[in-house]
Amino acid sequence: MAEALESKAAKPAPMDRLWADDADDRTSDDPALVVDVAGFEGPLDLLLHLARSQKVDLSRISIVALVEQYLEFVSRARALRLELAADYLVMAAWLAFLKSKLLIPKQPGEEGESGEELAAVLQFRLKRLEAMRDAAARLVNRNRLGRDVFARGAPEMVIIDKRNEYSASLYDLLSAYAGQRQRQAITNVQIAKRGVWSLKQAREILTRLIGQFNDWTSLDHFLIRYTTSPEQRSTVIASSFAASLEMVREGHVEIRQHEPFAPIYLRDRQHAARQTEGTS
Amino acid sequence: MSEGSNVVPFSVEDEDGETVKVNPAARLLLAEAARMAEAIVFASADPVSERQLAQRLPEGVDVPAAMAELQRLYERRGVNLVRVGDAWAFRTAGDLAFLMSRDTVQQKKLSRAALEVLSVIAYHQPVTRAEIEDIRGVETSKGTLDTLMETEWVRMRGRRKSPGRPVTYGTTDKFLDHFGLEEIRDLPGIEELKGAGLLSSRMPPGFSVPVPPSDPDLLAEDEDPLTDIDLEELGLLTPKATDD
Amino acid sequence: MSEGSNVVPFSVEDEDGETVKVNPAARLLLAEAARMAEAIVFASADPVSERQLAQRLPEGVDVPAAMAELQRLYERRGVNLVRVGDAWAFRTAGDLAFLMSRDTVQQKKLSRAALEVLSVIAYHQPVTRAEIEDIRGVETSKGTLDTLMETEWVRMRGRRKSPGRPVTYGTTDKFLDHFGLEEIRDLPGIEELKGAGLLSSRMPPGFSVPVPPSDPDLLAEDEDPLTDIDLEELGLLTPKATDD
């Protein structure tokens, strides 16, 4: 609701107009304006407007008269079935309370602020709001950049050369070098220790390799490319021999060895078959 | 172009028309520094801070003195050197506004509510949203504050050290620049308002009057700086920097 | 703001320092016109032609005379009034152009990865990217090498005479300077690294630290020099710095 009020109020009042003038535009004897809640920025604004219509200094204003005007405004709005924002009604209730306090002298032993004190608070708030109104008006009427006063129309580019400067100490450099070399050396050793060929690995490699050879080829020859170190040699041979026997059983390869401890030869059975077909 | 010629031709006279007598070498250095500062500030559309000037001028230059001299030289020219917070800018002279109307850039007009909130923030900073509402007697819509933040005249300053840690608002150097103010103390009528006790956020009369800080960037005693977490919480990535 | 004050304070003197004698009323009008033209040209985004000025200045103003006076006033200032075709504009004085560019130096620490690559290049030079990766056991990002080139501690030396002709990297004199080394051979060897506790005393057998070449500027036997064509091919007319 308050938002709606604000945006409505914004429409008729262009920024550069002084709303110091607004008070003159909306005189309270214009009944149409009295109930035009949309024209006001909330209950305090309405109160300020009503106070102005008393045409006296805010410090000498009759609070009781002001309260009565406000309450009358609210009752008129209600008579017209105009829906008032909650804060207008809250203000009305508070003002009614204030009025009762002002009319009935303070009882001895009564707690809380006196009517006069409450009235002073209201007066202060009205004065402060009015001061802000005037200040805003004076502010907008100053010479303003882009309207009255101008900046350089063709600013000259400032070229910024961004440069990074790096620093590192020799110690940083050396510890970075030694650290990574050491790390890497240790990792390598671990890989070597774990270098055991599984049967599955051996079979995969054998399958891939066997297609590359047309004739009987020694197993050693197949594997020489993979046996990088003496420690690995036994595991490679063992695993691949076991794998090759399996492949023979399945009919993929043929295997032969002339005598014990002689080189083991392997050949691709399908390949060999195709070759015999081709020659015959 | 006057390349190679570094002599400043203005005859410098004091109020009585007498030539000021100072150490000629220092005088020449200052004049040359003023000339450099002139070039730097003139080249920029935005105000240039004294810190930035000091970085770009030769070492040992008395920047405030150089700027004071320049300001005096341009005092009655068609272009004036004006101070904006701790920065300097050249701006066309105010009395020539009638001549410049043609250059006016169409600016988004602020609503009456927005202007009122702006002045409340300017005169009462640092101020929380609740305090703005107390002064105006009406709720401030989110849109109004957003609009003001968009103009870059208003910024979130910090958080009040009070329950709920509400965000405090204040104005920016852009605000000063736009309204031709050297500093917040130059706000029209601020002294009278202060004297009348109308800038205190709370009643009662005869109350103490808080003085708006002369350096609006300085956090008040009861303010905490905004943290990144705050900003995230508030849905703001970065509050726009006013000085780069 | 000098509102209401329209007097021009510059004392206008001719070449010999004598005050020019003209009709004082005409003189004042001209001075005021110069002031207006000053504001107009200052605020304009483009150079302003004399025709445009004549349209905006009060009738009867001798525009060329006003501009000539203004030009003279600014002749030796930090900003000059210059003619651009038949139009006028303010420009920074030629001798102060250096003020318009500015170096910003940002101190940065090298990342761990960059330090590692740098040290490998230092010890193993001339070394290719693939070899660096082999030694480190991890891929080297393009950004890391770029950063190192930006430090100017590392340079491309040549191309290895091997398939693919990979680029070889080495260190520069700046590298020696920065790390306080007289020559690249001053880099500590394996025993010194062990002595300093940087390397474990129980390294696996076969572990070695290479000794860099005595003259790092000399191409190795298996290196070709880099040609301009190589550089172009590598997209390196200038190794551009990238922020990371």
pLDDT tens-digit profile of C192-235? Answer: 888 777 888 777 777 888 888 877 777 888 888 877 666 666 65
Beta bridge mates, C215: none
Structure tokens of C197?
């506790």
Between CA B175 and CA A136 the distance in angstroms is: 13
Mean pLDDT of A178-205: 69
- B204: its two tokens: 């009662």
* pLDDT (mean) for B49-58: 90
B185: chain A residues, CB-CB within 8 Å: none
Q: pLDDT band at C10, cuts 50/70/90?
A: very low
How far is residue A105 CA from its own chain's centroid? 59
Stretch B25-42: mean pLDDT, rounded?
90
Contacts of C110 in chain A (CB under 8 A): 166-168, 172
Residues whose CB falls within 8 Å of the CB of residue C222, separated by 6 or more in sequence, listed in order: C160, C161, C162
Give per-residue burial for A171-181: e unless 16+ CB within 10 Å, then b.
ebbbbbbbbbb
Distance, CA of C135 to CA of C210 (rounded, Å): 12
Chains near C with 3+ CB pairs less than 8 A apart are: A, B
- Model pLDDT for residues C124-133, shown as the tens digit of each residue: 988 999 999 9
| Of residues C11, C38, C102, nearest to B56 (C-beta) | C102
Q: How far is A188 from chain B (nearest CA, A)?
A: 45
Confidence of residue A172 (pLDDT cuts 50, 70, 90): confident
List alpha helices for chain B, DSSP H: 24-43, 50-56, 63-73, 97-100, 112-124, 129-136, 142-150, 173-178, 190-195, 228-233
* pLDDT interval class at B82 (50, 70, 90): very high
3-state secondary structure chain A: CHHHHHHHHHCCCCCCCCCCCHHHHCCCCCHHHHCCHHHCCHHHHHHHHHHHHCCCCHHHCCHHHHHHHHHHHHHHHHHCCCCCCHHHHHHHHHHHHHHHHHHCCCCCCCCCCCHHHHHHHHHHHHHHHHHHHHHHHHHHCCCCECCCECCCCCCCCCEEEEEEEEECCHHHHHHHHHHHHHHHHHHHHHHHHCCCCCHHHHHHHHHHHHCCCCCCEEHHHHHCCCCCCHHHHHHHHHHHHHHHHHHHHCCCEEEECCCCCCCCEEEEHHHHHHHHHHHC
In terms of Cα–Cα distance, which of A5, A86, A92 is closest to A40?
A5
Q: What's the pLDDT band for C32 if we cut at 50, 70, 90?
A: very high
CA distance A60 to chain B (A): 15
Contacts of C122 in chain A (CB under 8 A): 173, 177
Which amino acid, A216?
W
What's the CA gap between A20 and A5, in Å, rounded?
Answer: 19
Predicted-complex ipTM score = 0.61
Query: Lowest-pLDDT range, A19-33, A256-270, B104-118, B191-205?
Result: A19-33
Rounded percentage of chain B residues whose pLDDT exceeds 90? 41
Q: How far apart are the C-alpha atoms of B4 and C157, rounded to whole Å?
A: 43
B151 in reach of chain A (CB within 8 A):
no
Tokens of C239: 């190794």
Q: Which residues of A are less than 8 Å from C180 in CB distance?
A: 170
Cα distances from C94 to residues B1, B67, C47, in angstroms, run 6, 21, 18
pLDDT tens per residue, range A139-153: 988 988 988 889 998
Mutation to test the B interface, candidates C8, C16, C38, C56, most B Cβ within 10 Å: C38
Q: Which of A89, A91, A145, A159 would best serve as a mutation to test chain B binding (most B beta carbons within 10 A)? A: A145
Distances in Å between the Cα of C35 and the Cα atoms of B9, B74, B96, C10 are: 18, 11, 9, 11
- With contacts defined as CB-CB under 8 Å, which chain B residues touch C94? 1-3
Q: Are strands C79-84 and B223-225 parallel, antiparallel or unpaired?
A: unpaired
pLDDT band at C86 (very low <50, low <70, confident <90, very high): confident
C49 exposure class (CB count in 10 Å sphere: 0-12, 13-18, 19+): middle
Tens of pLDDT, residue by residue over C67-79, are 999 999 999 999 9
pLDDT greater than 80 at residue B241? no
Cis link prior to C213 (omega < 30° from 0)?
A: no
Q: If you measure CA to CA, which chain B residue comes closest to A13?
A: B112
Confidence of residue A275 (pLDDT cuts 50, 70, 90): low
Average pLDDT taken over every residue of chain A: 73
For residue B9, whether the previous peptide bond is cis, meaning omega lies within 30 degrees of 0, is no
Give the distance from residue A17's alpha carbon to the nearest chain C alpha carbon, in angstroms: 22
Please, what's the largest Cα pairwise distance for chain C? 102
Which CA distances in Å does A127 have to A24, A60, C65? Answer: 18, 11, 56
Q: How many CA atoms lie within 13 A of B133 on its CB side?
A: 14
Task: Return the higher-pLDDT residue of C53 and A253.
Answer: C53
Q: Is B112 on the interface with A (CB under 8 A)?
A: yes
Contacts of B99 in chain C (CB under 8 A): 36, 39-40, 56
In this complex, how many residue pairs, one in chain B and one in chain C, have their CB atoms less than 8 Å apart? 114
Instruction: Provide, as residue numbers in chain C, all residues whose Cβ is less than 8 Å from the Cβ of B100.
Output: 39-40, 43
What pLDDT does residue A5 have?
38
Selected residue of A46, A148, A157 to mutate for chain B interface (largest B Cβ count, 10 A): A148
Distance CA C129, CA C135 (A): 10
CA B24 → CA A133, B27, B58, B71, distances in Å? 53, 5, 18, 21
Residues of chain C whose beta carbon is less than 8 angstroms from a beta carbon of chain B are 1-11, 13, 34-40, 42-44, 56, 75-80, 82, 90, 92-96, 99-100, 102
Compute the average pLDDT of residues C30-49.
93
What are the chain B neighbours of A144 within 8 Å (beta carbons)?
178-180
Q: What residues of chain A lie within 8 A of the CB of C107, using their CB?
A: 164-165, 167
How much is the average pLDDT of B118-132?
A: 93
pLDDT band at residue C18 under the 50/70/90 scheme: very low
| Range scoring the smallest mean pLDDT among B40-49, C32-41, C196-205 | C196-205
Higher pLDDT, B4 or B186: B186
Note whether C135 contacts A184, CB cutoff 8 Å.
yes
pLDDT digits (tens, 9 = 90+) for B175-232: 999 999 999 999 999 998 988 888 875 544 443 333 444 566 677 778 887 776 666 6
All residues of chain A having their beta carbon less than 8 Å from the beta carbon of residue B42 are 152
Q: Residues 29 to 58 of B: which have CB under 8 A from any A CB? A: 42-46
Cβ <8 Å between B135 and A9: no
CA B43 to chain A, closest CA, distance in angstroms equals 5
Alpha-carbon gap: B194 to the closest alpha carbon of chain C (Å) = 24
Q: What average pLDDT does the structure give for chain B?
A: 80
Q: Does A150 touch chain C (CB under 8 A)?
A: yes
Angle between helices A199-210 and A230-249 (to 10 degrees): 70
- List the strands of the sheet with C87-92, edge to edge: C48-49, C87-92, C79-84
Which residues of C are less than 8 Å from B5 in CB distance? 76, 95
- Touching check for B137 and chain A: CB below 8 Å? yes
- Assess contact for C155 and C170: CB atoms under 8 A: yes
A268 — pLDDT class (breaks 50, 70, 90)? confident
Size of interface A-C (CB pairs under 8 A): 131
Q: Is the minimum CB–CB distance between B122 and chain A shorter than 8 Å? A: yes
Range of lowest pLDDT (A257-261, B180-184, C135-139): A257-261
Cβ partners under 8 Å of residue A208, min gap 6? none
